[in-house]
Structure 1
Amino acid sequence: MKALKWHGARDLRLEIIARRPLKAGEIRIEVAYCGICGSDMHEYLHGPDSIPVKAPHPLSNSVAPIVIGHEFCGTVVETAADVTGLQLGDRVAVEPEYRCGHCTYCREGRYNLCESMGFVGLMGDGGMAEEAVVPAYMAHVLPRSLSFRQAAVAEPAAVALHGVRQSALRPGDDCVIFGMGAIGLLLVMMARHHGAGRIIAVDVDPRRLQLAREVGASDTVDASLGDAVQQVRELTGGVGVPVAFEAVGRPETLKGALGVLSKGGEAVLLGLMPEASIDTFDLVNRELRITSSVGYRGLYPELLELMASGAVDAERIVTHTVSLEAAIQNGFERLASAGDAIKVLVQPQQEACA
């Protein structure tokens, strides 16, 4: 079968690989769509960040090169003999977090913090292939009304939903979201669904800010036109907001997220950055809080029903669909160019149902 494998930074290769036999507890999925995530872009541009290159991951037993991609869905075409609850032909979305099931965090239900935490497509072979093999516990059967294209965006939508739930945001609260990439736009949707009051979207791209308005932002701030913190302060009468989300992964947007907070406010970090400096005097003096959010836990069935009902239209962030053969040039490189792409879906099976 065809698969896109990561060998190193700027070194993705479309290869023909063998279909491996299933192990106990595994299923084989014919992949309909696989989204290109910001984490995939980190690995493509300057990895390895998370991909194991020296020692295998403890749960996947995999080491680079690996099949990249963790935002995927498809059809179950084979199950191991011990798998129950799934049938051949089931349409499923993949919740791609590995979990050991026995560490303290897994026993408490916080499996996104598993001591051996990892993701299919980063720490083990993923979904940018004609077929993918995953543990059966990762598969969630899709509601009948949910299309594959919608399901392909369930994983980043889960990131956004978990981020909102990690926050102190209450119905009626105003908030600011920095970065209108895929996660930022989904945060707008989830904050609106959560009942947020005024949602202020911050970015430097007018096209993304327009889309933010269309999916639920009350106000937008174009940071290319001046100090974003000052603009937000003007919009809020100098008070700021109780909650800000950082979905870019840059020190300057972290500074901005803290800067727009009212006293006692909270900045929620979803973006990935190696390090940043913080004005701790200001942090303490205004009694600010910093919260972080990684992955998701225990929300996929609810999220899929939410999407199926139309309450959240996550497919709105999809801007391009490309074949597996064109994924490098028309997917990864297009995203790297900072052009018009927001969410690119790779379609390994050209006949996959939309």
Structure 2
Amino acid sequence: MDRLNDTGILSAVWYAAKDVRIERRVRPALEPGQVRLRVTCCGICGSDMHEYLNGPHAIPVGTPHPISGVAAPVVLGHEFTGEVLETKGDCGAVKIGQRVAVEPEYRCGTCPACLRGDYNLCEKMGFAGLMGHGGMAEEAVLPHYMLHTLPDAVTDRQAAVLEPAAVALHALRRSGLMAGQSVAVVGAGPIGLLLVQFAAVAGARRIVVSDVSEARLARARALGATETVNSMSGHLPTQAQGVDMAYEAVGVQAALEDAIHSVRKGGKVILVGLFGAPARIDAFDLVNREVEIIPSCGYRHVYPDLIGMIAGGVIDPSLIVTRQVSLADVVTDGFERLAVPNDDVKVLAVP
């Protein structure tokens, strides 16, 4: 299934850090319960960039993932959408010709977390495009449970950003944000900007966003932020002027400290960013101010609601897309350009 030839499926394949190759791969046969998609759009995620720059982090090397059966080299891409080309066996409601969004979380269906319905916490959890072959290719093969049918009112461009939007919506639900409350969003990357949109829709009266990029802060204001702070020269509100809750959407120590310091006594800090190193916290401060720490992992049971919100015009996650590149040029025009500081937020690769 992983052999190469000159007439196969064009794919972006991770072999090692700084070694992503655009190559053609043999079209795999379907197993029962699997679906073949023609990929229409695939986003480059921060996780993809981590793997490209200094991986492996999540990509299995040597030992295959227990559900996908895949180890590196692996086709990247977990933020994607497409059209159903082929199915095999019982694939539920999935039919050939449907446009679908991909919810790329692997799940076993039998562990305690899966049986509770918390499939994002599955003991064998993984993501297509990291722990198995993904959608940065002309075609993708996936288990049918990952697919959600799209109405005509949701565009391919919007559907390609459903995955990071799902991360943001799950975090918002974990936080319990209510209308009239105040929030801080630390980091105006894709997840941070989507959190701004959701917080505005939820009725937050004050949305303060911090980042080092003036262009991203301007985008945050356009999406609903009431205040912005360049963290190179300014500071978020603290203590008595602190917000009800803060979302850490960067995954670095300084951002975590900013988030914790920005909340009032009795406030909440929601951890959304993925930390590449152990983080430190001042436990005395958390206890003394009774600050609640809430981690948010991936998403569960949000895709149907999210698709409905987009179709109804409530939110448009594609507003964070800043550039589109061809799949053939995704290394040079995508990964390499994102590896240096610039104002890009979300880049889509199109086969």
Give the TM bin, normalised by the shorter chain: over 0.9
C-alpha deviation, 1:309, in angstroms:
1.3
Match of 2:87 among 79, 84, 93: 79
Q: Is the 1:322–1:346 Cα contact (8 Å) retained in structure 2?
A: yes
Question: Which residue number corresponds to residue 292 of structure 2?
Answer: 289
Question: Which residue number corresponds to residue 309 of structure 2?
Answer: 306
State the one-letter code of the partner of 2:58. Answer: S
Match of 1:205 among 199, 206, 213: 213
SS in 2 for 1:325: helix
1:6 aligns with 2:9: no
SS in 2 for 1:162: helix
- How far apart, in 2, do the equivalents of 1:168 and 1:302 lie? 16
Q: Is the 2:213–2:343 Cα contact (8 Å) retained in structure 1?
A: no
Question: Which residue number corresponds to residue 72 of structure 2?
Answer: 64
- How far apart, in 2, do the equivalents of 1:268 and 1:294 lie? 10
Match of 2:56 among 48, 54, 57: 48
C-alpha deviation, 1:196, in angstroms:
1.4
- How far apart, in 2, do the equivalents of 1:89 and 1:152 lie? 18
Q: Is the 2:246–2:262 Cα contact (8 Å) retained in structure 1?
A: yes
Question: Which residue number corresponds to residue 321 of structure 2?
Answer: 318
State the one-letter code of the partner of 2:10. Answer: K
State the one-letter code of the partner of 2:347. Answer: V
Match of 2:348 among 330, 342, 345: 345
- How far apart, in 1, do the equivalents of 2:328 and 2:297 lie? 31
Which runs of 5 or more structure 2 residues have no equivalent in the other structure? 1-8
SS in 1 for 2:65: coil
Which runs of 5 or more structure 1 residues have no equivalent in the other structure? 349-354
SS in 2 for 1:164: helix
State the one-letter code of the partner of 1:214. Answer: A
C-alpha deviation, 1:84, in angstroms:
2.9
Per-residue CA distance 1:6-37 (angstroms, 9 max, x = gap) = 00111100111000000011000000000000
- How far apart, in 2, do the equivalents of 1:334 and 1:319 lie? 13
Q: Is the 2:13–2:73 Cα contact (8 Å) retained in structure 1?
A: yes
C-alpha deviation, 1:193, in angstroms:
1.4
Question: Which residue number corresponds to residue 172 of structure 2?
Answer: 164
- How far apart, in 1, do the equivalents of 2:325 and 2:69 lie? 30
Per-residue CA distance 1:298-325 (angstroms, 9 max, x = gap) = 1111101101111101111000000011
Identity of aligned residues (%): 52
**Structure 1 segment 84-103 matched on structure 2, within 5 A:** 84-103=92-111
1:214 aligns with 2:222: yes
C-alpha deviation, 1:333, in angstroms:
1.3
C-alpha deviation, 1:191, in angstroms:
1.0
Give the RMSD, CA atoms, in angstroms. Answer: 1.0
- How far apart, in 1, do the equivalents of 2:155 and 2:176 lie? 32
Compute the TM-score of the two structures, normalised by the length of structure 2: 0.96
C-alpha deviation, 1:54, in angstroms:
2.2
SS in 2 for 1:7: strand
State the one-letter code of the partner of 2:164. Answer: P
- How far apart, in 1, do the equivalents of 2:89 and 2:320 lie? 38
Per-residue CA distance 1:56-85 (angstroms, 9 max, x = gap) = 110001000000000000100000132231
Question: Which residue number corresponds to residue 194 of structure 1?
Answer: 202
Match of 2:247 among 245, 248, 251: 245
SS in 2 for 1:176: strand
- How far apart, in 2, do the equivalents of 1:46 and 1:190 lie? 32
- How far apart, in 1, do the equivalents of 2:94 and 2:63 lie? 32
- How far apart, in 2, do the equivalents of 1:242 and 1:341 lie? 30
SS in 2 for 1:224: coil
Question: Which residue number corresponds to residue 264 of structure 1?
Answer: 266
Q: Is the 2:153–2:311 Cα contact (8 Å) retained in structure 1?
A: yes
